[in-house]
Amino acid sequence: MEDLVMNATFWKDKRVLITGDTGFKGSWLSLWLQSKGSHITGYSLLPPTNPSLFEIANISEGILSVTGDVRDLTHLKTVFTKYQPEIVIHMAAQSLVRYSYNNPVKTYSTNVMGTVNILEAVRQTDSARVALIITSDKCYENKEWLWGYRENDPMGGHDPYSSSKGCAELVTSAYRSSYFSNTDYPSHGVAVASARAGNVIGGGDWGEDRLLPDIMRAIMERRPVVIRNPNAVRPWQHVLEPLNGYLCLIEYLWKHGTEFAEGWNFGPNDDDCKPVSWIVTNLNRLWDGDVRWELDSEKNPHEAKYLKLDCCKTKRLLGCLPKLNLMTALEWIVEWYQSYSQNKNMREVSEDQISRYENMGQA
């Protein structure tokens, strides 16, 4: 099957509501849809980091950005009623594993009840036709086996973050069965799906306690990179890869309705599942090879050693094939951060990477 890229014509003039638009992935998604002429309403808290891609790339220039908390159902419903979105992409989340150990209540209330509130707002908004709930590869009950998790594997989670994402998947499934079922599609007209992707990397990420931002900060500050789990293997993918998948899935949901309304994995090819130490070594080499890494001596909470997804269903049924191999992704990341350190126009740099991605063949 031919690899797909989101259809620019489809997205022109669509009314899209994105939660978490001020975050790393949300900023890239908002910028991409701006270039396609979508009418975007963003709903999120203030940018979670300083600096942030949202501010550096002037994302707010092309969207209507509403400051709000997904835990506030009353405010959410007011925004939905006012702006009448046709497509809802729910990305807002508490997304850090270690933070979740210290803040379990906030993690569950944001990731679980936030998802409930979004789906409830969709249920009560006549304009909505598609809702995509973004969760995580960590939603699965991780047995640390060598093969990838399939969409029908059980949900789980050792830590509050992973568990909350599994819960968000269960909430989505329950709402789909109860209110957005296939049999009642002619009456409700809404297709609801979930997307599971993890270890998303790219320029403009300054999140705390995340590998790539930690590495880039250390490289730019000329200090050693402190690594917790150098042998941990993850399915690394450039941020544009899952975003392209989400957008292609939404197009299918719009066209085919509940036929594609289920859970979907988005991840790289198997040979791009690499250990943390490989990422550190190659990012350092691509920059200038002048930074070393050292093992974190502190006691850290449990984190999975091995995790990857089986993306056969996505590749076969959606035709979403990776376009950037991992080494190329790292090259683009170094290019982005070097451009930032040289005070270049980062909106233009980011838009250029989006354009180059669109014009690439599969990896």
Residue-wise pLDDT for 277-288, tens only, equals 999 999 989 998
Decide if pLDDT at 297 tops 50: yes
Q: What is the mean pLDDT of residues 67-71?
A: 98
In terms of pLDDT, which residue wins out, 275 or 293?
A: 275
Mean pLDDT of the region 65-91: 98
- Between 199 and 124, the higher pLDDT residue: 124
User: pLDDT tens digits, residue range 107-123?
Assistant: 999 999 999 999 999 99
Up-side HSE of residue 174: CA atoms within 13 Å toward CB? 10
As a whole number, mean pLDDT of residues 257-278 equals 93
Q: How confident is the model at residue 299 (pLDDT cuts 50, 70, 90)?
A: low
Average pLDDT, the chain: 92
User: What SS3 class is residue 41?
Assistant: strand
What are the E-state strand segments in the chain?
15-19, 39-44, 64-67, 87-90, 130-134, 191-196, 200-201, 225-227, 233-235, 237-238, 263-265, 273-275, 293-295
How confident is the model over 162-188, as a mean pLDDT? 96
Tell me what percent of the residues of the chain surpass a pLDDT of 70: 94
User: What's residue 2's pLDDT?
Assistant: 44
Rounded CA-CA distance 237/144 in Å is: 19
The CATH class, in words, for 8-358 is alpha beta
- pLDDT of residue 302 exceeding 70: no
Which range among 47-61, 214-228, 338-352 shows the weakest confidence by mean pLDDT?
A: 214-228
The separation between CA 284 and the C-alpha centre of its own chain, rounded to angstroms, equals: 25
Q: Where are the domains of the chain?
A: 8-358
Helix or strand or coil: residue 350? helix
pLDDT at 307 over 90: no
* pTM of the predicted model as reported, rounded to 2 decimal places: 0.94
What is residue 305's predicted lDDT score, i.e. its pLDDT? 58
Choose the weakest-confidence range: 135-144, 181-190, 200-209.
Answer: 135-144
Give yes or no for residue 182 having a pLDDT over 90.
yes
Count CB atoms within 10 A of the CB of residue 342. 8
Say yes or no to pLDDT of 303 above 60.
no
Q: Which pLDDT belongs to residue 362?
A: 62
Region 124-129 average pLDDT? 98
**Structure confidence by residue, pLDDT tens digits, 202-244:** 999 998 878 899 888 888 888 888 888 888 888 899 999 999 9
What does the pLDDT average to over 23-33?
98
pLDDT computed for residue 235 by the predictor: 87
- pLDDT computed for residue 1 by the predictor: 37
pLDDT of residue 301: 61
**309: which residues sit within 8 A by CB, 6+ positions away?**
137, 148, 149, 196, 197, 198, 235, 265, 266, 267
Distance CA 179, CA 258 (A): 12
Measured at the CA of 225, the angle between CA 223 and CA 230, to 5 degrees, comes to 165
